[in-house]
């Protein structure tokens, strides 16, 4: 009894120092703007909450693709992830209002729509048990290819890679387009071996992953707006007091808002760079109109 009393006396002050570790995975590579910002956020959270939160970042896809990461969160191996809009389709929350192919012609249209839906997205995720921080701008995806692809017929003949999302599946099925399915990490090898010769991706991703160096042409028409969010299960912060939870959520919200603004600028720069590095091409206006009609 005396030993137990001594242990309780020694350990009691440590009870208030219980630490919440948030292991966050992302496909963004080390040194990228997103990863650096997460590392800065980790320092801010640590200082503001007196060491009660430790944010550990796992960059470069070391924890697997988005679907794998989501499974690891559900079993408690991870506590968060920066995931793409496509991955959010797997959650019990409808956040698809920005993700239809050929939905937008300009970023101004995107941002007007986001003014209406951003807060609603976060609430839908919260209703499903998730804290969502974002959306975070990913820019438009464009068609990049080794050969000219001016028509829908030429696209059907291409060796095309696309993310295997529900929206992409629906679009390709309606347009009778086939595409290859492979992990993002295998795309560069696929381009080098000739397994694929065409893809649709955001310029920032194409530059970061060096895909752009394998192409000659890029379309000027945006295909789909890309975005992501930092997801953390709401229960992750339960060990904190209510005041500490509010402080942590405030810092995370501020991080997301600032990063989104910076990404809008850097993604536009990446788009401008791609248009200079590759030969711009235009898609048949008739086919483009048919593509847009098919998505309505």
Concatenated DSSP letters of 144-197: EESS---SHHHHHHS-EE----HHHHHHHHHHT---B---GGGHHHHHHHTS--
Give Cα 132 to chain centroid, integer Å.
12
Mean pLDDT, residues 218-233: 93
Alpha helices (runs of H) in the chain, residue ranges in sequence order: 2-15, 33-48, 66-74, 107-127, 152-157, 166-175, 187-193, 203-208, 242-277, 285-294
**pLDDT class of 196 with cuts at 50, 70, 90:** very high
The Cα 158–Cα 177 span in angstroms is: 9
Lowest mean pLDDT among 44-48, 90-94, 272-276, 289-293: 289-293
State the pLDDT at residue 14. 37
**Within the chain, what is the greatest distance between any pair of CA atoms?**
86
Mean pLDDT, residues 113-131: 94
CATH 3.90.1170.50 matches 19-294:
no
Side-chain-side CA neighbours of residue 32 (13 Å): 21
How many CB atoms lie under 10 A from the CB of residue 52? 19
C-alpha distances out from residue 11 to 2, 52, 117, Å: 14, 16, 47
Enter the tokens of residue 26: 């992302």
DSSP code of 269?
Answer: H
The Cα 140–Cα 267 span in angstroms is: 8
**pLDDT class of 92 with cuts at 50, 70, 90:** confident
User: How open is the CA angle 103-92-128, to the nearest 5 degrees?
Assistant: 115
State the pLDDT at residue 12. 36
234 closest CA partner among 222, 218, 245: 245
Inform me whether the pLDDT recorded for 268 exceeds 80: yes
- Those residues with Cβ within 8 angstroms of residue 201's Cβ, 6 or more apart along the chain or in another chain: 141, 142, 144, 211
Pick the residue with more confidence: 124 or 289? Answer: 124
The model's pTM is 0.86
Instruction: Compute the mean pLDDT over every residue in the chain, rounded to the nearest whole number.
Output: 87
Cis peptide preceding 97, ω within 30 of 0: no
List b or e across 207-229, with b for residues whose CB sees 16 or more CB atoms inside 10 angstroms.
bbbebbebbebbbebbbbbbbbb
């Amino acid at each position: 009894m005396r030993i137990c009393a001594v242990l309780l006396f020694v350990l009691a002050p440590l009870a208030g120092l219980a630490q919440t570790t948030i292991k966050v995975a992302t496909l963004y590579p080390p040194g990228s703007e997103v990863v650096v910002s997460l590392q800065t956020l980790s320092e801010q959270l640590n200082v503001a909450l007196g060491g009660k939160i430790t944010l550990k970042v796992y960059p470069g896809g070391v924890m697997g693709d988005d679907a794998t990461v989501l499974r690891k969160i559900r079993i408690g191996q991870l506590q968060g992830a920066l995931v793409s809009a496509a991955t959010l389709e797997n959650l019990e929350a409808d956040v698809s209002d920005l993700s239809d192919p050929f939905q937008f012609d300009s970023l101004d249209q995107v941002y007007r729509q986001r003014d209406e839906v951003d807060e609603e997205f976060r609430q839908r995720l919260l209703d499903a048990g998730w804290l969502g921080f974002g959306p975070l701008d990913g820019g438009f995806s464009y068609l990049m290819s080794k050969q000219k692809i001016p028509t829908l017929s030429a696209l059907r003949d291409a060796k095309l890679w696309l993310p295997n999302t529900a929206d992409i599946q629906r679009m390709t099925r309606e347009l009778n387009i086939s595409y290859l399915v492979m992990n993002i990490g295998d795309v560069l090898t696929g381009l080098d071996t000739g397994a694929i010769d065409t893809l649709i991706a955001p310029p920032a991703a194409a530059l970061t992953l060096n895909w752009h160096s394998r192409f000659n042409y890029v379309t000027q028409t945006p295909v789909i707006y890309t975005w992501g969010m930092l997801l953390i299960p709401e229960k992750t912060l339960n060990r904190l007091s209510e005041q500490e939870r509010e402080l942590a959520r405030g810092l995370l919200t501020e991080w997301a808002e600032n990063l989104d603004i910076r990404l809008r600028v850097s993604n536009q720069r990446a788009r401008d760079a791609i248009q200079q590095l590759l030969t711009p091409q235009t898609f048949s206006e008739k086919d483009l109109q048919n593509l847009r009609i098919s998505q309505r």
